[in-house]
Structure 1
Amino acid sequence: MSTSETSGLLNTLASARHPAEPWRIKTVEPIRMTSPEERKAALEAAGYNVGLLPAELVYIDLYTDSGTSAMSDRQWAGVMLGDESYAGSRSFYRFEAAVRDFYGYDEVIPTHQGRAAENILSRCLIRPGHHVPGNMYFTTTREHQELNGGIFHDVIVDEAHDPEADLPFKGNVDLGKLEQLIAKVGADQIPYVSLAATVNMAGGQPISMANLAEVRELTRQHGIPVILDAARAVENAWFIKQREPGWSERTVAEILREICAQTDGATMSAKKDSFANIGGWLAVRDPHLAEQARNLVVVYEGLHTYGGMAGRDLEAVAQGIEESVQEPSIRTRIEQVAYLGDRIARAGVPIVRPVGGHAVCLNATAFLAQVPREQFPAQTLTCALYLDAGIRSTERGAVSAGRDPATGHNRYPSLELVRLTIPRRVYTQGHMDVVADSVIRLHEGRKALCSGVEFTYEPSTLRFFQSRFRPLAAEPLFGAVGR
């Protein structure tokens, strides 16, 4: 397609109320709506944790966009072409070339998913007593940092913790906070700065290119590496193109390369931007760090040329990387999320503003103002959404934040959110309307949700995945929803 034809298509998409998808549907997967009675029984059996529900009992699954996207025909064709040689398969070399070409890192180490890359990186760089600053925590990232003796410090701008602050780059680092931490603990006690683009726990908020450059300059002065969580960096690149002066004429692919150019390495869950059902990578510029990481990959993941992935997965990721920067595709992805957010917000439902790239986040503390924080309003709201319309969402509040390792007390982050995470290329606008209708209906009847839940089982690590709860009042807490 020529440049003029691409421009014409983008203009057509932009003028639509919401852009038509730049693909045709070739295969479908049946889903069904369960009855209210089925949902009540299923939720009780799952301990009021929607993550423990059988997927076949979920109508619209917005639990995560990780590994749940629809792969393209070319990705599936790549699956059939996968070279399953144990060492040095041709699929690895195609995968390696794709990461180098689109992200710009020389040293590429495959892992089975993003948290495996976080584990390897943390084992290589973090020692007990180290301090790791970042633009808001993510659950698995902080867990690996703390398991290796590190202490996480949030240096994101204050506005990121305010769901109503409608700013274009709420993922930015507060340079003053970072400078203060360096002065307090010393640069030699900071193994790296951990940067997310976009910031998941803030609702998918991007970091600006200008702020990245400022962070890069400050860390260069002190000899501190910068490591990027690149899982949704393509989405971040799109926001830079749309919102930051001086970048509108650059392609998403060019902006992605420039984001990565401001860093020394990245961890990647290819289950997000790259559309893959499994896969990830760790990439760095330092060959000595790369060698150390490869030695650990052999211990924990597999040989350094497959890293826990089959050859077919390496092919799917490589193709997905190429597709991820296609601008009609990323535009459609962002606009679908915006459509859902706009419908919900126009009805007066409190959400995180602005809407991020991968999810609409409900502000549970405002939505269920009558439910105390110690009764986990976000967890309560995830249950209500499932009972009402079979929608599975994610709690991103006190349950996800876990307990302080020093005191054992619950952490209560400023943001108590329910994340409606949209898988890529999976659901139609009709599905988004069903979700919006359910959220609006619950908000209108929110006074019926008068109390929350408490733990009946709580794991010590990443408790939100397997915890179980019970409602503190069986009726009318959940009796008013489910129809």
Structure 2
Amino acid sequence: MTAFMEPFRIKSVEPIAFPTAAERRAALEAAGYNLFKIDADQITIDLLTDSGTGAMSAAQWSALLSGDESYAGARSFRRFESVVRDLTGFAEVLPVHQGRAAERLVLSALLKPGQASVSNTHFDTTRAHVELAGGKAVDLPAPDGGNIDLVRLRASFATEDVACVVLTVTNNGLGGKPVLMENIRATRAICDEFGVPLTLDAARFAENAYLITELEPEFTGHSPRKVAELMFRSADIIWASLKKDGIANIGGLVALNDPDLAARCRLELIAYEGFPTYGGLAGRDLDALAQGLLEVTEPSYLRYRAESARWFGEALRAVGMPVVEPVGLHAVYIDAGELLPGRNLPANALLAELYLEGGIRASELGTLAFGRVDPAGGPDIPSARELVRFCLPRRVYTRSHLEYVVEAAAAVVKRAEAIPGYRIVHQDPVMRHFTARLAPML
């Protein structure tokens, strides 16, 4: 059979809110046209992020009940540590409350002021932590939008004081495309040549591994688990938000082999997160994460996730949305600049219309998130792409929910010519897209 379906049954449900058109307009205006600032009870379908929004399995809920809440050396940590060591091959395992805490630990330890972190694409929090450490975030994506550009990576060592290379797997900033094993291995060789550590931002490691099995003939027929193990063993350090491929609502990790670097990170961990065997998490969270890391590489789950995302992308394309190809697993990306040419902040404009049409919340990965403020006081330096990301929370929405989104998208496409651009009314100096206030340019 060629039909796909969810490889699970639903045992618990949560009601969905259906605010009226008037309520949606009032909520959007009150939020300064920033969907981050709209309360969840005013959202019908929430595709803002796949981070911490997934549905846990029966086995994960059972694991919560066996959580050991001892302050130090808890049984739950030992289970988590064992699962991570087996998956990654790293001896040193540090739990943290989420991915940005892991980024801060590693990047503050690796970077000195003026040094560069070079990446296929730093995501928003990664870039922020590089800059907060006094470093420079250099993005060198390959034309495919997933891999790092190896020619420019090698050249960067002649122009930058490179402290580390970061591969974001998958490349969340440019469409959720994978970093292929061939590229990981070649990056590893360049890092060895110049004596810098290779780090993986591994929030979506299982999805990256699954795409490798589809795209690289060497790995045809391999299990996603085995490919993930090879990915991890190609790196010196990994960090991850486990709110994605840990399939849980909170948690993250740092894993590495260097005992000296681990000791420095551990001191920071104690100061900011908690004792090293809980890292800001409850014991029950560690147990749920350990179980999630076992479940996430199941081929049937990853196949369902891939086929769902591709169907959704095809349906959006059919109603006129310019979908970024190829579609990955965790999200479908729309080129808002193509749909709304000539508009200021077109991704924000598209987001506002989707919310007004159907109470749908997605996220902006364009100039508001990735553009740069001109230090000389001129206009913003725009992002290379003006993307809207429809993230797919794990095991949450069915095809019927996504059909509702497609219907709303079709209505927005029909009135695209009348959609205004947006301007920034207020912005903060760091992570401005979380808190900015906007207004339509009427």
Give the TM-score normalised by structure 2. 0.98
| Letter of the 1:238 counterpart | Y
1:464 to 428, 433, 441: 433
**1:218-269 residue CA offsets vs partner (Å, 9 max, x unmatched):** 1111111100000001000000001111101211000000111111011110
| Aligned residue number for residue 447 of structure 1 | 417
1:402–1:463 contact (8 Å) kept in structure 2: no
1:402–1:462 contact (8 Å) kept in structure 2: no
Distance across 1 between alignment mates of 2:441 and 2:386: 19
2:319–2:409 contact (8 Å) kept in structure 1: no
| Aligned residue number for residue 383 of structure 2 | 413
1:430 to 375, 396, 400: 400
SS at match of 1:26: coil
Distance across 1 between alignment mates of 2:121 and 2:218: 27
| Aligned residue number for residue 4 of structure 1 | none
| Aligned residue number for residue 272 of structure 1 | 244
SS at match of 1:274: coil
Matched, 1:70 2:45: no
1:10-29 correspondence to structure 2 within 5 Å: 12=1, 15-16=2-3, 19-29=4-14
1:145-224 correspondence to structure 2 within 5 Å: 145-160=130-145, 171-185=146-160, 189-224=161-196
1:301-450 correspondence to structure 2 within 5 Å: 301-371=273-343, 375-404=344-373, 406-407=375-376, 410-449=380-419
Rate the CA distance shift 1:143–1:38 in 2: closer, same or farther, 3 A: same
SS at match of 1:308: coil
SS at match of 1:431: helix
| Aligned residue number for residue 167 of structure 1 | none
**1:311-331 residue CA offsets vs partner (Å, 9 max, x unmatched):** 011011000000001111111
**1:32-79 residue CA offsets vs partner (Å, 9 max, x unmatched):** 321100100111111101110010110000000000000011111111
Distance across 1 between alignment mates of 2:306 and 2:130: 31
SS at match of 2:127: helix
RMSD: 1.2
| Aligned residue number for residue 204 of structure 2 | 232
| Aligned residue number for residue 254 of structure 2 | 282
Alpha-carbon offset, residue 403 of structure 1: 2.7
**1:81-123 residue CA offsets vs partner (Å, 9 max, x unmatched):** 1100000000000011111111222110000000000001111
Distance across 1 between alignment mates of 2:371 and 2:346: 15
Distance across 2 between alignment mates of 1:349 and 1:225: 40
| Aligned residue number for residue 109 of structure 2 | 124
| Letter of the 1:443 counterpart | V
Distance across 2 between alignment mates of 1:276 and 1:336: 20
Alpha-carbon offset, residue 402 of structure 1: 4.4
Matched, 1:88 2:58: no
Distance across 2 between alignment mates of 1:463 and 1:312: 33
1:134-149 correspondence to structure 2 within 5 Å: 134-149=119-134
Distance across 1 between alignment mates of 2:30 and 2:12: 32
| Letter of the 2:173 counterpart | M
| Aligned residue number for residue 214 of structure 2 | 242
Unpaired segments ≥5 residues, structure 1: 1-11, 161-170, 474-483
Matched, 1:79 2:64: yes
Distance across 2 between alignment mates of 1:249 and 1:448: 49
Alpha-carbon offset, residue 334 of structure 1: 1.6
| Letter of the 2:132 counterpart | L
**1:127-170 residue CA offsets vs partner (Å, 9 max, x unmatched):** 1010111001210001000111111111211342xxxxxxxxxx
2:374–2:380 contact (8 Å) kept in structure 1: no
| Letter of the 2:350 counterpart | L
| Aligned residue number for residue 59 of structure 1 | 44
2:54–2:395 contact (8 Å) kept in structure 1: yes
Distance across 1 between alignment mates of 2:107 and 2:190: 22
SS at match of 1:343: helix
Alpha-carbon offset, residue 206 of structure 1: 0.3
SS at match of 2:219: coil
| Aligned residue number for residue 168 of structure 1 | none
Which stretches of structure 1, 4 residues or longer, exceed 3 Å deviation after superposition? 404-409
SS at match of 1:464: helix
Distance across 2 between alignment mates of 1:433 and 1:83: 42
SS at match of 1:447: helix
SS at match of 2:182: helix
1:136–1:156 contact (8 Å) kept in structure 2: yes
Unpaired segments ≥5 residues, structure 2: none
| Letter of the 1:380 counterpart | A
1:113–1:270 contact (8 Å) kept in structure 2: yes
| Aligned residue number for residue 35 of structure 1 | 20
SS at match of 1:193: strand
Distance across 2 between alignment mates of 1:131 and 1:358: 29
Alpha-carbon offset, residue 404 of structure 1: 4.2
Distance across 1 between alignment mates of 2:363 and 2:29: 17
Distance across 2 between alignment mates of 1:84 and 1:407: 52
Distance across 2 between alignment mates of 1:412 and 1:159: 21
SS at match of 1:246: helix
Alpha-carbon offset, residue 443 of structure 1: 1.1
Give the TM-score normalised by structure 1. 0.90
